[in-house]
Amino acid sequence: MTHLQNISLPGPTITPITKPFWEHLKKGVIMLQRCNTCEEWIFYPRAHCPHCFSESLRWEQASGRGVLKTWSIVHRPGNAAWKPLAPYVVGVVELKEGPSMLSHILTDHSNLAYQQEVEIDLITAGNQPLPFFKVCEEELN
């Protein structure tokens, strides 16, 4: 887990539905919701399955790995707190389990490629670890 120095971020908005996701990240564990009816993985956390509308969901450990679908290089952050890190990369990662996650991609922008294999690298700013991604060092299986 890396800690960002000299940066003060507003942090995520934690609700009763998203709280388990954020609490598990504090223990270094990536947990996603999974539907008890159709077995699909779900992200972002919600009260019902977006595939079959079942309200019977559970939390299950996920790989924290995926592939890069698209990305953008941010030169002018929407929130001033991110200015010390600019320019930085924000991308959409298709997780191995299926859902997509929007997050920071920690890499040199010149190395990025469609379907690049990435994995979660927890970055702490304040007291909440955030699920950023870094380029995978080993092959996905």
> In what side-by-side order are the strands of the sheet with 31-35?
41-42, 31-35, 57-61
Q: Is 57 in the site for Zn ion (CB under 5 A)?
A: no
Closest CB to Zn ion among residues 54, 115? 54
Among 52, 73, 86, 113, binds Zn ion (CB under 5 A): 52
What is the C-alpha separation between 137 and 135, in angstroms, rounded? Answer: 6
- For residue 90, give both structure tokens: 């924000």
Q: Give strand pairing partners of 88.
A: 74
Q: Minimum distance between the CB of residue 103 and Zn ion, rounded to whole angstroms?
A: 24
Q: Is 51 in the site for Zn ion (CB under 5 A)?
A: yes
Q: Give strand pairing partners of 2.
A: 123
Closest CB to Zn ion among residues 35, 120? 35
**Which residues form the interface with Zn ion (CB under 5 A)?**
35, 37-38, 49, 51-52, 54
